[in-house]
Structure 1
Amino acid sequence: MKSLLMIFSIIIIIVGTSYLMVSCGKDTTQQLKLELLPVPGNPLINFRILTKFGSANDPVGKEGLC
């Protein structure tokens, strides 16, 4: 169980760090959102990481710079 928790923690750290590195120096503190939906008696853990990447989110006049 401890090794599974350690692997999960390392994955979260790597994904979080890579997300911050790719965000082009934007202030991401207000963009990060955490939702917890506990289900009593269910030991499963599920997580999703949604990112806003792509040309639709580029600032006007600065398309393709990031």
Structure 2
Amino acid sequence: MSLFISSADVVELTGLVQCAAQRRWLDANEWVYQIDSQGRPKIARAFFERKMTESVAAETQPQSQWNVNIEALRA
């Protein structure tokens, strides 16, 4: 398995075929990438997996009903 997602994956992610348009989309959506010698954006697989799952994790974690009373700890 490659360290980078494939060009087809980048097309699927962005919905765009042209490299310059893909880079604009990636910039607008705060994706980290490198540009190869042919101008194509290269996205690390590890970053892709983290970015694609971070919003799901944030949505599924319940908000705690507990509050910490720092003053009680100091007494």
Calculate the TM-score normalised by the size of structure 1. Answer: 0.27
Larger Rg: 2
Which structure shows the bigger proportion of residues in helix conformation? 2
- Structure ranking higher in strand proportion: 2
Point out which structure has higher relative CO (alpha carbons under 8 A, 6+ apart): 2
